[in-house]
Amino acid sequence: MLNLKKTAVAVLALGSSAVFAGTMGPVCAPGNVTVPCERTAWNVGAQALYLQPVYALEGNYPQVAVSGGDQSTNAAQANYHTATTPYQWGFMVEGSYHFGMGNDINVNWYRVHNTNDVAYPTADTTALANSTKTFNGQSATANPQWDQVDVELGQHIDFGDMKSVRLHGGVEYARVTTAYNTQVNNLAISTQANSSYNGFGPRGGVDAKYQLGNGFSVYGKGAGSILVGPSSFSNSTVVNSSTSTSPASSAFGSSTLIVPELEGKLGVNYDYAMAQGDLTLDIGWMWINYFNAQQSALDGRNVNDAGTLLSRGFMSSTDFGLQGLYFGGKWTGNV
């Protein structure tokens, strides 16, 4: 009898081991991908922009280049000064209409218009034939201007409770202009240049958002467009001097350009729910670039110490971009 009990216990233990050995581990449940419930709402928002215009080529910054003198040898040498564009204030305003299950129509307008003045009252010396030196007062101004208007149709998609994306497509209009002036007072040399581009085309992008809790979220946004439109430029240099061998030079032209545009944003926002809607506060950093959107035939480096114009005689192009800080708010109200 005792042997029978031992045999039964051994059989049960072996069966139990087999059962445990064949049991599957925890099963992974796929996350839910959903769109929001049907809702009708609207929002308005505004942001302050603190952006720096940048160019891909040095030649599109205003420059003054008059041969300077070496204090020890009196030898002529080139000395360039560049009026690089600083950070400048601008704004963005937007309005949206939300409808259906996560759909929206958004219209926004970006604008940066400013002037940068840079003066070099005693920047360089010029070595004269009798080995004496004189100071050349130099100054430069740059006036980059940027406008961008986007019209987007978007679709909001939720990936679980914490993650979401907004896919959007639409059209974009952009206007990019640069005007600069340089002046060398002693030689009475002045240079003016203007470059302008107006483009329109399709646009698309993705906005990704991750909720941190307590109303805070981090996000990344990316978008791009293909623009087509007219481009024009004009450049002129005048030497108001009786000794100059070439008192004036000018160049101008126009063409139609296809310009790709890319942009990105990284930021943090805070959502505060209220009885009649939601208030969103936003801060982040943005980058935007228009490829080969600015054209030129002459730059500021076209006058030697004798007052002779050195025209390059060919066209060049450069990217136009902006990068910097933005912050603002948006109100979303239920209909």
Q: Which of 83, 80, 75, 118 is nearest to 301 (CA)?
A: 80
What digits encode the pLDDT tens for the residues 127-142?
A: 444 444 444 556 667 7
Evaluate if residue 143 carries a pLDDT over 90: no
Residues in Cβ contact with 44 at an 8 Å cutoff, skipping those fewer than 6 apart? 93, 94, 95, 96, 330, 331
| Distance (Å, whole) CA 236 – CA 297 | 10
Q: CB–CB of 258/290 below 8 Å?
A: no
Q: What contacts 149, CB < 8 A, 6 or more positions away? A: 107, 108, 109, 110, 172, 173, 174
Q: Can you point out the beta strands (E) in 275-305?
A: 277-296
Q: What's the rounded mean pLDDT across residues 223-238?
A: 90
Residue 234: pLDDT band (50, 70, 90) is confident
**Residue 63 in this model has a pLDDT that exceeds 90:** no
Average pLDDT of span 326-333? 96
Tell me the C-alpha to C-alpha distance, in Å, between residue 18 and each of 4, 23, 26.
21, 9, 18
Longest Cα separation, the chain: 132
| Structural domains in the chain, sorted by start | 41-334 (2.40.128)
Residues in the chain: 335
More confident call, 49 vs 62: 49
**Mean pLDDT along residues 192-214:** 95
Mean pLDDT of 105-113: 97
